[in-house]
Structure 1
C-alpha cells in the first residue's frame, strides 16, 4: 500500500502530535512514557514523546530490527507486552531497559493507510489501567483525524500557491501581448500565436519568452503582481 504523503508543514503537525501526547498522558492514571513513531521512506522516526527514554527505546528497536513497535507496524494490530523481562522475543530491549516492564503499541492509521505507532512504556509491574488503554485507543484515532486535517491544509496551500503562480505568469504574458500588439499592429490572438511559435521554436516556456520581451522593452524584469494572504478570521470578532 502506498504510504501517505507527510504534510508540508511538518513542524506544525509534529507540534500538534506532541500536544496530543500531553493530553493523553494526563488521562492515564499509571503515567506511562509515551511516544509516537511515524513511518517514512527513510525509515522510522519518533516525532513526539513525553520522555526522552521513550524515544531511545524506539530507536533501540529500529536498530535491532525487532520489538513490539515493529510488530505493531508489521501486523497493523495492537501489541501488548505484559512482562518485557520475561518475553524471550525481545531480550536485547529488556537488557537495555530493565526498568521497563510493560509495553503497549497502538497502530496509527488514516483512511486505511498505516502512519506509525503510538507506544506506551511502563515501569510498573501491575497491568496498565483500563482508563490508560482507552486513552491510548482514543489518542490513536485522534492522530488519524489530525493527519487528514493537516494533509488537507497542506494540499489547500499547494493549490493556492499554484493559483498564485498561474495568475502571475498570466499577468506577465498579458503585458508581453500588449507590447507585441503595439509593435506588430495585430490582434491579441495573433500576438499570442507569435509568442507561442517563438516558445516552441526556442523550446522555452511561454511566460519566459514574455518576460524577456518585457525586459528588452523596459530595461527591467517584469514586475510580479503581489497577492496578499486573506486576513485570519477571529471567532467571535465583529467589525
Structure 2
C-alpha cells in the first residue's frame, strides 16, 4: 500500500459508511489491507469492527485472514456454533455472524471488506451481492490511487534527472573550453574522474561548476503545467 495516497483512506471510510447504512440491519463494516506487520484496517464504520480485525491479526486466524489467504468469500451464520476460528471467537462474544469478501487485483488478494453483526442468521443474498459490488469499486479506487502515486514518483524522478543533466551539461561545457575537446571527449574525462574518485557523475560535475563559477550550480526551475478545467459551456 503506497504511503503517499492521501485521500484513499477518506474515500474508503465514505464507502463503508454508505454500506453500513444501506444494507439491512446496519452491520459493522471494515476494510482491511495486507501490511508488512499484518492486517491494517484502513476504514471502518464502527470502532468495534477495527477491534475485531485486530483480534484476528493477533490470533493469527479468522475469517478475514481466510478470505485474503484463499481469495474466496467467507461467511459464518453463528460463530458460537462455528469451530473454525476458536482463538478468535474465544476473545469476542459480540459477533454472531459475519461475511468477508476478498479484494483481488492482478490475480492475488490484497485485503478484504467484512460485515460484522451481533445477530445470528448471517446476511441475505442481496446484502452479499452489494458487498461484492462494493469490493469491485474498492479495487478500482486502489488501482487508480496506486497509478496516481506511481505517476507522481515518475514525475519526481524525471525532474531530478533533468536537474542533474543540466549540471552535467554545464560541466561538459567548461571541460570543452578548457581542454579544447569534443563533447564526447569531455564526457569521457568526466566519467573517468567519477570512477576514480568513486563519486557520482553529477556530483563531480557540480564540483567543477562551483570551482569555476565560485558558487554552487543553479538548478533550473520546472513549473507544473496548469491543470485543465472543465469548460462550463460543454
Q: TM-score, normalised by structure 2?
A: 0.91
- Give the direction of change, closer, same or farther, for the CA distance of 1:175–1:151 in structure 2 (3 Å limit): same
CA drift of 1:193 comes to 2.1
Whether the 8 Å contact between 1:27 and 1:131 is mirrored in structure 2 is: no
Match of 2:161 in 1: 166
Deviations 1:105-135 (A, max 9, x none): 0011112121111110012334423332121
Deviations 1:197-218 (A, max 9, x none): 2112222221111000011112
The reply on whether 1:9 has 2:4 as its aligned counterpart is yes
Deviations 1:153-196 (A, max 9, x none): 12211211111111111100111112222222333222222212
- Pick from 143, 146, 170 the counterpart of residue 151 of structure 1: 146
Structure 1 residue ranges without an equivalent (≥5): 1-5
> What SS does the aligned partner of 1:214 have?
helix
Alignment of 1:1-239 (within 5 A): 6-237=1-232
CA drift of 1:92 comes to 4.7
Deviations 1:60-106 (A, max 9, x none): 11111121112212222111110112223334544543232111000
Whether the 8 Å contact between 1:30 and 1:129 is mirrored in structure 2 is: no
Aligned length: 233
Structure 2 residue ranges without an equivalent (≥5): none
Select between 8-17 and 205-214 the one with higher mean Cα deviation: 8-17
Q: TM-score, normalised by structure 1?
A: 0.89
Whether the 8 Å contact between 2:16 and 2:44 is mirrored in structure 1 is: yes
> What SS does the aligned partner of 1:225 have?
coil
CA drift of 1:43 comes to 1.4
> What SS does the aligned partner of 2:123 have?
coil
Q: Whose relative contact order is higher, 1 or 2, with alpha carbons under 8 Å and at least 6 apart? A: 1
